[in-house]
Copies of this chain bind each other. A is one copy, B any other.
Amino acid sequence: MEERRFHVAVVGATGAVGQQMVQTLENRNFPVGKLTLLSSERSAGKKMRFRGEEIEVQVATPESFAGVDIALFSAGGAVSKALAPEAVKRGAIVIDNTSAFRMDENVPLVVPEVNEQDLTWHNGIIANPNCSTIQMVVALEPIRQAFGLKRVIVSTYQAVSGAGAQAIEELKTQSKAVLNGESVTSEILPVKSDRKHYQIAFNAIPQIDKFQENGFTFEEMKMINETKKIMHMPELQVAATCVRIPVVSGHSESVYIEIEKDGVSADDIKAVLKEAPGVVLQDQPSEQVYPMPVDCVGKYDVFVGRIRKDLDNDRAFHLWIVADNLLKGAASNSVQIAESLLKLGLVK
Contact = CB atoms under 8 A, between A and B. Distances in A.
A237 B312 contact: yes
A121 interface: no
Interface stretch (A38-46, A70-78, A89-97, A240-248): A240-248
B246 A246 contact: yes
A346 interface: no
Nearest to A221: B311
Q: Taking chain A's interface residues, is the majority helix, strand, or loop, or is none over half, making it mixed?
A: mixed
Contact of A204 (B157, B176, B239, B307): B157
Contact of A311 (B214, B248, B290, B292): B214
A254 interface: yes
Interface in A221-262: 224, 237-239, 241, 243, 245-248, 252, 254, 256
A328 interface: no
Contact of A294 (B203, B211, B313, B320): B203
B239 A254 contact: no
Interface in A283-335: 285-288, 290-294, 305-313, 316, 318, 320
A215 interface: yes
A6 interface: no
A117 interface: no
B157 A245 contact: yes
Interface string A191-204: 00011101100111
Q: How many copies does the complex hold?
A: 2
A179 interface: yes
B215 A306 contact: yes
A228 to B, nearest CB: 11
A199 B288 CA distance: 13
A198 B311 contact: no
A326 B207 CA distance: 25
Interface string A154-183: 010100000000000001100110010000
A171 B310 CA distance: 32
A206 interface: yes
Contacts of A254: 155, 206, 241, 243, 254
A310 to B, nearest CB: 5
A248 B204 CA distance: 11
A217 to B, nearest CB: 8
A306 B206 contact: yes
A216 interface: yes
Contact of A202 (B198, B207, B247): B247
Nearest to A245: B245
A266 interface: yes
A48 interface: no
A288 B241 CA distance: 15
A277 B43 CA distance: 54
A292 B237 contact: no
Nearest to A203: B294
Contacts of A239: 256, 310-312, 316, 318
A276 interface: no
A83 B194 CA distance: 54
5 contacts: A195-B288, A215-B308, A215-B309, A237-B312, A241-B320
> Which 3 A-B residue pairs are closest in the complex by CB-CB distance?
A215-B308, A155-B254, A155-B155
